[in-house]
Copies of this chain bind each other. A is one copy, B any other.
Amino acid sequence: MERNIYLSNISLEKAIDMYFERIKDFRLGTEVVKTHEAKGRITAKPVFAKISSPFYNSSAVDGIAVVAKNTFTATDRSPLRLKEGKDYIVVDTGDPIPDEYDAVIMVEDTIKVSEDEVEIIKPAIPWQNIRQMGEDIVEGQLILPQSHRIRPVDIGALIAGGVFDVEVYKRPRVAIIPTGTEIVEPGAHLKIGDIIEFNSRVFAALVEEYGGIPTRFNIVKDDFEKLLETVKKAAEEYDVVLLNAGSSAGREDYSKKVIETLGEVYIHGVAIKPGKPVILGRVLNKPIVGIPGFPVSAFFIMENIVKKLVNFVQGYDIKDKKYIEAQLSKRVMSSSKYLEFVRVKLGYIEGKYIATPIERGAGATMSLVRADGVLEVPEELEGYEKGSVVNINLLKAEDEIKNTILCIGSHDIILDIAADLLAKKGRYNLASAHVGSMGGILALKDKETHFATVHLLDMETGEYNRTYIRKYIPNRKIAIIKFVKRIQGLMVKRGNPLNIHSIEDIAKKGARFVNRQKGSGTRILLDFELKKLGISPRDIKGYEREDYTHISVAAQVAKNNADCGLGVFSAAQIMDLDFIPVANEEYDIVIPVEYLELDGVKKFIEVINSEEFKKELDRLGGYDYSDLGKIIIE
């Protein structure tokens, strides 16, 4: 096992400063482009106006040009009559004002008395409604400073100032090299151990957003000579090289050795998480970054280092993170050795943003798809307490988050379907966080969600949901929107090879079980049934193995990682499993009464009452929706 050693654990900011200091001579040259094609380009020099705009006095309105001092006698009691040609000329917005006139009266303030005569009832003030020469831009004035990214409005000002060509930095051509023996091209036939390569496609799209020109290389297997040759070629032909993966200390990680052979490794290891094992170096006189393979690590390296690099070589110091303040709905723990990036969902409740860290169970690439923002926990902190107000770097538009209805609670696929129908109507989105029924109840108590979806069985009364609401949310006026009764059951492989017909059989037959997480309604149901039957959790093999959704439990069974799990019919159906009914449970929406008035909630209620939604329930099967939409105020 020959392994590399991390050279350093320096802070992100310091790493970037050090790195850019070392590569500051690798800045790209400049070129002259047409102003109207310069969007997104970085100015190489300050740009000054060549002409004034307007370069003559002009009318700011539609009206008549007059000599102000000749209008001083006009009042509403004695209107002043003016004659065209003698006392005024007609001007439209933008028309030049001849030198002899010094004011314009708006057409709305004139009364037409004949074809060429008007009356006014108020004197004109000198220079009123006149755009003076150079009012917008004065010849010689600075329009744009150096190192400025040209925006559409800048193009307008440049052309108005007579600047039709502009000197900008060249755009960096960025080579992206995917490496690894286990990765395969999308569409290849997959065997165990294969990973479909997609990081390079994400990189290419990001590089384009950063202002670079990406070129993706073909996959290079973990072969030192081959890698050496490819990196050398890339450094010769491109301005920046991205090497993915092979930046950690695994056995086949050649990136460091390749870079050292062809150039220099400046930094290996930065104190961020995820993303630590990044390599910053040069090959020939080109910057090269070795990016870790884990997609989330790779994303944060792209956003926090490569973005700055692609801009740096164009002479631009990019600063475009957008932060909002949000309240944490959960405690966040972090190592004090790293700057940690924590992905969060955001909701907007009663004028406050609520940030909920995305659970580990949410997966890697999907967690990035679902994240609304990123909490950056600084190196010196060990985390934040629940309820802390923190800064969140936004990954989505604020408008979009404000139009999001938050549902925290127990998951069911019908929520995804309702979300989809809601999105189709436009304006509002439903975001659901899967923390189980109890998690939903607690989120309601702490005003961290608009509503919760719950199916909580009272072990004493056998009644669903109401006991829990009364007990845990005494402080708020709550309504229950009846959702569906659903059949919970055991999911087993097609044909039921272990012949499981009841909860008892799981223990009896020694079947490998996948459980749901603590606090989930399904978990409570299982515990209820086990207690009833007098079976100890220790007798269930896999009781401690937790999964977060019905569908992921079903997937474990389908792929033979487990023999059975407890879940809803629709999940079994999607994964083509057999299903043994265990109980009928009430899956309801619990919502503070005041939120029933929110426009987005109203739209959501419309959706679940729609025929389209019921049709989907029929299609899935396993749902009884006879009470759907009934609202019970507790």
- Residues on A close to B: CB < 8 A? 1, 3, 35-36, 39, 46, 51-57, 62, 90, 92-96, 107, 112, 126-127, 132-148, 151-157, 159-160, 162, 164, 182, 186-187, 190, 192-193, 195-199, 201-206, 208-209, 248-252, 293-295, 299, 317, 319-323, 361, 363-366, 368-369, 394, 397-400, 403, 416, 419-420, 423-424, 426-427, 544-545, 547, 549, 551-552, 555-556, 558-559, 561, 574-575
B196 near A160: Cβ-Cβ < 8 Å: yes
B133 near A199: Cβ-Cβ < 8 Å: no
Which residues of the other chain, B, contact A559 by a CB distance below 8 angstroms?
52, 55-56, 133-134
Q: A143-B366, A192-B56, A195-B94 are in contact. Are A205 and B39 (CB under 8 A)?
A: yes
Q: How far is the CA of A1 from the CA of B39 in the complex (A)?
A: 41
Additional 19 contacts, C-beta under 8 A, given A133-B555, A162-B196: A3-B107, A52-B555, A56-B559, A62-B250, A92-B250, A94-B182, A132-B547, A135-B363, A135-B364, A135-B552, A138-B552, A144-B369, A145-B423, A147-B424, A152-B203, A156-B368, A160-B295, A164-B187, A320-B399
The 8 closest A-B pairs by CB, nearest first: A319-B399, A136-B363, A152-B205, A159-B198, A320-B397, A36-B201, A153-B368, A156-B202
A206 near B152: Cβ-Cβ < 8 Å: yes
Which residues of the other chain, B, contact A187 by a CB distance below 8 angstroms?
164
B561 near A132: Cβ-Cβ < 8 Å: yes
B556 near A134: Cβ-Cβ < 8 Å: yes
B366 near A427: Cβ-Cβ < 8 Å: no
Residue in B151, B419, B551 whose beta carbon sits within 8 Å of that of A145 in the complex: B419
B552 near A134: Cβ-Cβ < 8 Å: yes
Copies of the protein in its oligomer: 2
Minimum Cβ distance to chain B for residue A276 (Å): 13
Q: A153-B369, A206-B152, A365-B53 are in contact. Are A397 and B250 (CB under 8 A)?
A: no
Q: How far is the CA of A165 from the CA of B206 in the complex (A)?
A: 19
Q: How far is the CA of A137 from the CA of B365 in the complex (A)?
A: 8
Residue in B1, B46, B398 whose beta carbon sits within 8 Å of that of A90 in the complex: B1
Minimum Cβ distance to chain B for residue A123 (Å): 13
A143 near B394: Cβ-Cβ < 8 Å: no
B132 near A544: Cβ-Cβ < 8 Å: no
Q: How far is the CA of A142 from the CA of B54 in the complex (A)?
A: 55
A364 near B136: Cβ-Cβ < 8 Å: yes
A317 near B134: Cβ-Cβ < 8 Å: no
A56 near B320: Cβ-Cβ < 8 Å: no
Which residues of the other chain, B, contact A136 by a CB distance below 8 angstroms?
363-366
B46 near A420: Cβ-Cβ < 8 Å: yes
Minimum Cβ distance to chain B for residue A427 (Å): 6
Q: How far is the CA of A534 from the CA of B452 in the complex (A)?
A: 79
Which residues of the other chain, B, contact A156 by a CB distance below 8 angstroms?
198-199, 201-202, 295, 299, 365, 368
Minimum Cβ distance to chain B for residue A257 (Å): 16
Residue in B90, B137, B192 whose beta carbon sits within 8 Å of that of A363 in the complex: B137
Q: How far is the CA of A323 from the CA of B401 in the complex (A)?
A: 12
Minimum Cβ distance to chain B for residue A193 (Å): 5
Cβ contacts A to B, 14 pairs, < 8 Å: A39-B208, A51-B190, A93-B248, A126-B544, A132-B547, A136-B366, A137-B366, A141-B366, A142-B416, A146-B423, A147-B426, A164-B186, A321-B397, A321-B398
